[in-house]
Structure 1
Amino acid sequence: MLRRRADAHVWFRVGLAAAGWVGLYWANGRVWSWLLGDLLGLDLEGRIGSGVHFFLYDTIKIFLLLTGLMFVIGMLRASLDLDRARDYLAGKGLAVGLLLAVVLGVVTPFCSCSSIPLFIGFVAAGIPLSITLTFLIASPLVSEVAAIMIGDQFGWHIAGAYVLAGSAIALAIGWVFSRFALERWVEDMVFATRIAQLRAAGHVPTWTERVDAAVEESKEVFTTVWTWVLLGVGIGAAIHGWVPEDFFAEYAGPGNPFAVLVAAVAGVPLYVNGAGVVPIAEALWAKGMSLGTVMTFTMSAIALSIPQAIMLRRVLKPPLLAIFFGSVTLGLVGIGYLFNALFP
């Protein structure tokens, strides 16, 4: 009887917290738009107004995702037999795990930074690093919004090629990563969690213990990475939406054989989402930039970013961080040259 009451009390608290989380997530963008635009009169389309709005909105969004997803994954890890799940995936083979990671990445509408909380949870749960990194590539790279806008602006055959190319890059890099022991380059804080200690105790935890452990783990991860989130989003806000189109037209035009490489590298600092980058890509295409170079620029801008690198540095050691960014960049360069050959 006492245990049932305790469990009921725990689930009541969880329900209230979940309702509050949903409310905050729903209100996040609306509150900042009202406060900054309507109340303070800032121009949300201008550089200052859009940058401030971006910083406040994206910071709260990532904090909410970080705490919410870590709690959910912590509860799953405390409640499920993850060893059996891993054994099941191992029996199905690496290919199935990589395909599932790509599918999950495609259907989750996360930007390059918002996908990091789920990535942390997957790594902490013991899912193979090659599979989690495949998800981290696919989630921002294959954007449903970008695909729809590309289809509308460039043609649906180009949108289909974009989705296939992004999925192929994630699968190929994930397979290459699976050939190496990369776990030594993951920071220890990802593995030394409250849930891991709870499961190591060898007993079946109560619901109260599971909730408490998930809450504590969420707090531990949050306190470890929050400064990195602020730093990353702050840099992103400062450069948000700023694209020197004349620079791209001059140095990444059709006359430069290294245009695709220039587009891949130059897209990283821009930190724009799929909805924001496709109109820019269309403008660059109208100025004469080849389609492959445009696609490389588009995919680089949404898949890689300086804020993402800053946040990932808290969970990945420099060698793996460099390997991750270098591999994705090389993949995008290859896709650019392939697109230029197929769609001259």
Structure 2
Amino acid sequence: MTVVDVHAHLVHPDTVRRFPVPPVLGDVAGLVEAKAAAGIDLTIVGSPNGAGTMVPVPGGGNYHQPLDRLCAFHDWLGQVVADHRDRLRAYVYCDPFGDARMLEAAAQYLATEEFVGIITNPTLRGEYLDSPRADDFFALVAELGVPVMIHSGAEPACCAGIGDYGLVEMVGRYCDVTLGLAAIVLSGRLEQHPDIPIIGTASGGALNLLAGRLDLAWRPRHWGPAATGGEDGRPGQLDRAPHRSRTKAPPSELVRRLYVDTSLDGRHAHLVNLEVFGPDRMLFGTDWPPVPVDHAAKIRMVEELPVADAERQAILGGTALRLFGLEEPGGPAVLAAQAEGSQP
């Protein structure tokens, strides 16, 4: 059985020197050694802020970073993966509202063996991914056929006015992922691009509790016919335009097309995700580095879920190998089997 951690981070050494960054994010050797010791065969690393830092400091965030600086980060990350090809693969960071040059650069990195997916943010500069300005981004992803990890960035839109950075880091970003995924579901993008694997970090945030409320946002019956396409137009009713449905299927059905990782602590959250998303939509992910975790406990949590053995193996690695195109000969599954002295 191959174990794949789809959620881990590294930052460029220059970022470690210049900005506030947890030191563990710059320890490549430590990451590789810790994952191997825990029985994790492959880790997919990336930065949700590109060449920047998650702490909102002048010059350090992921917003407005020059393309040459972002490319320098990806060049470095690609070399790190090449040096540890049996243990690592990487995400390309891409601003979903970036210009054609940024999108083209992302495509070029994804044409290499080192990069297997895209990591991006649910909000940038207060704008969500239901914005038409993200149309070119989703069209590119659909063309490339790679997974997209939705990971909160340095300054979540929902955290405006919050001064406690710990609250932003450990709660606000989960809310940001929740809102970001909900916006994607309601926008119709899952129907427009049904083959894009979208992975929600933070175990999908609280989306597993909100499927019914998304249906009310889709067709708000409590506002009467004028809000849902009727013709009475009684005074006091909302204008129909804000509630015009952009999906054919109810959002409570569309959310089941999303994937979620297992980075959130607590058995209850994963049991709810099993019910809402299903075991075939859950991917093992730790968020370490930087969030301190007990890798053995994370793996044991999956092993103890009330699912069949085949579903358990899929959560731990099988689904990730398929999504990221790593099942072919010479891929991590084969290397792991060879390391154990068995035939793949």
TM-score by length of 2: 0.28
Between Structure 1 and Structure 2, the one with more helix by share is 1
Larger radius of gyration: 1
Give the structure-1-normalised TM-score.
0.28
